[in-house]
Amino acid sequence: MRKVIQLVTHPEDDTDSEIELLPSKSLTKKFARPASKPNMKLIVAHHADDSMFDAGDEEDSDNEQPKFSLVTPAMKRNQRILDPSKPEHAALIASATKVGTEYYDSDAQDVPGDVKDTSKPDLFRNVAWGSYATSYDNEAEFVKEPEFTQFVPGRFELLPDGTLRDQKSKLIIKLLDKAGRKRIFANPPPRDWASQEAITALNKRTVQQIRRNTNVRFREVVRAYVPEERRWILENLSSGKPTQGWKTFVEDFNKRFEGMKIAGAIGTRPYRSHSSLTKEVERFGADFYVKGLMPVTARKGKKE
């Protein structure tokens, strides 16, 4: 029901396995920098401004259009997770193809010591990255809108066409950043692909890498409830429950606010789902709404 801009996928779907790359191409010094610190100075002048923070989505104010691509996975998380205890899934896994050592050699000894740049080295392996993970040679690999679907628990994920994808292939993010620089992010593999904690950390990190360097977004920015909305909610509750029942409550709320402009708030008000509204009332019911009060949130109204 939400309006979502589908991102057109790239024709030369780079995915997985079949990326031929010549093993030891002479990496030009210029591009052969450690993937973990791919920054450096190809920086084309350009103000350092946005860098400190992720420049909250609104893009460098000045000239350009904010134009972001909102990408939603074709399949939801639950649908992509495989259950090895189910025979058909087990069969798929058994016949699945893994990507190769151009990412890293899964069977090789890990590099001694903890993996760097994470506070949870116990969750990730310190692998020696392969050629694909370190090569800047193939221009076509670096795209402005990299494809990515969040990691799900398990080495493989189920794709819409019924085949599996080795999630190892998603550990390497190659992209062309907003300044046109080629970037490689090599994210260490989880020691245990079934560990949700590791998967969560991986997702958090990876999404941030894409978010900070491209205009790709994975969901609309969450819009906090504003006082006008909360005032309405308060007025339409009796002892913390919708006066007219949830169904009409949700309908009326959206009739009143969806698409509406409110002074001081950016853009227009979003549609609020049943789940969103019940959660809002649950969160602030006991402490505020029941007492006839408007919820007061901790701080910063900055951009909303």
Partner DNA sequence: AAACGTCGACCCGCTATGTG
Partner DNA sequence: CACATAGCGGGTCGACGTTT
Q: Residues 2-21 vs DNA: string with x where CB under 7 A?
A: x-------------------
Q: Cα–Cα distance between 296 and 205 in angstroms, integer?
A: 31
Answer for which of 111, 241, 254, 294 binds DNA (CB under 7 A) is: 241
If the CB atoms of residues 56 and 90 are measured against DNA, the closer one turns out to be 56
Does the footprint of DNA cover residue 276 (CB under 7 A)?
Answer: yes
* Residue 272 Cβ vs DNA, minimum distance, rounded to whole Å: 6
Helical segments of the chain, H only: 77-80, 87-95, 131-134, 196-213, 227-235, 246-257, 274-285
Running DSSP on this structure, what letter comes out for residue 50? G
* Residue 233 Cβ vs DNA, minimum distance, rounded to whole Å: 12
Does the footprint of DNA cover residue 78 (CB under 7 A)?
Answer: yes
If you write DSSP's letter for every residue of 258-292 in order, what string do you get?
TT-B-TTSSSBPPP--HHHHHHHHHHHHTTTGGGT
If the CB atoms of residues 97 and 246 are measured against DNA, the closer one turns out to be 246
Q: Cα–Cα distance between 294 and 126 in angstroms, integer?
A: 50
Answer for which of 62, 87, 275, 292 binds DNA (CB under 7 A) is: 275
Region from 18-26, 35-43, 96-104, 135-143 binding DNA, contact rule CB under 7 A: 35-43
Q: Are 21 and 138 in contact (CB under 8 A)?
A: yes
Answer for which of 25, 77, 86, 291 binds DNA (CB under 7 A) is: 77
Answer for which of 6, 9, 39, 268 binds DNA (CB under 7 A) is: 39
* Residue 174 Cβ vs DNA, minimum distance, rounded to whole Å: 13
Q: Cα–Cα distance between 79 and 102 in angstroms, integer?
A: 29
> Among residue numbers 120 through 159, which ones bind DNA (CB under 7 A)?
120, 150-152
Does the footprint of DNA cover residue 282 (CB under 7 A)?
Answer: yes
> Among residue numbers 172 through 191, which ones bind DNA (CB under 7 A)?
183, 185
Name 46's Cβ contacts closer than 8 Å, sequence gap at least 6. Answer: 179
Does the footprint of DNA cover residue 278 (CB under 7 A)?
Answer: yes
* Residue 43 Cβ vs DNA, minimum distance, rounded to whole Å: 6
Taking CA atoms, 222 is separated from 57, 217, 256, 257, 286, in Å, by 12, 12, 19, 16, 23
